[in-house]
Amino acid sequence: MISNAKGNYQGISPRKARMVVDLVRGRPATEALQLLDFTNKAGAPYVKKVLASALANAQVKRPGIDVDSLYVSRASVDQGPNSHLRRWRPRAMGRATRVTKGTSHIHLELDEL
C-alpha cells in the first residue's frame, strides 16, 4: 500500500457509488482519472475526488514517485448513516415515513505495479 484516501459522508447512495468504484478497481491511477472524467454516472465526481486525494497523498508520502506506476489496488464503498433531513412522505391511512438520503464512505488504496 503506497497511499490511501477516504471520503466519508459523501452524499450519494452506496449502490450508485459502487457502480463507479467497480469501473476503476484494478486500473492504473491516471487511466482511472481519465475514465472518471468521461463517465456519466452520479458517483463519478465523488470517486474522482477521492482518487485525486489518494494520488496527492502518494506524492507527499514519496516525493519522487512516478504517478504512472500507481494503480488502484483496493476500492470499496460502505454505507454511511442515513439522515432523514426532517422531511416526511405521506403514506396510506394518514401515516407518514421519513425521507432518507443515502450517504457513503468511499475508500481507495493505491499501490505500485
Give me the residue spans of the domains in the chain: 3-112
Using H for helix, E for strand and C for coil, what is the string for 85-105?
CCCEEECHHHCEEECCECCEE
Q: Classify domain 3-112 at the CATH superfamily level.
A: Ribosomal protein L22/L17 (3.90.470.10)
Beta bridge partner(s), residue 76: 107
pLDDT for residue 25 is more than 80: yes
Q: Quick one: which of 66, 77, 78 has its CA closest to 2?
A: 66
Residues across the chain: 113
Q: What is the sign, positive or negative, of the torsion defined by CA atoms of 16, 19, 25, 31?
A: negative
**pLDDT tens figures, 47-91:** 999 999 999 999 999 998 999 999 999 999 999 998 777 889 999
pLDDT > 80? residue 1: no
Return the pLDDT at 48.
97
The pTM (predicted TM-score) of the whole model is 0.88
CA pair distance 71, 89, nearest whole angstrom:
44
Q: Is the pLDDT of residue 10 over 90?
A: yes
Which residues share a beta bridge with 89? 97
pLDDT at position 100 is: 85
82-104: per-residue pLDDT in tens?
877 788 999 999 999 988 888 99
Cell numbers describing residue 91: 403514506
Q: What is the pLDDT averaged over residues 1-7?
A: 91
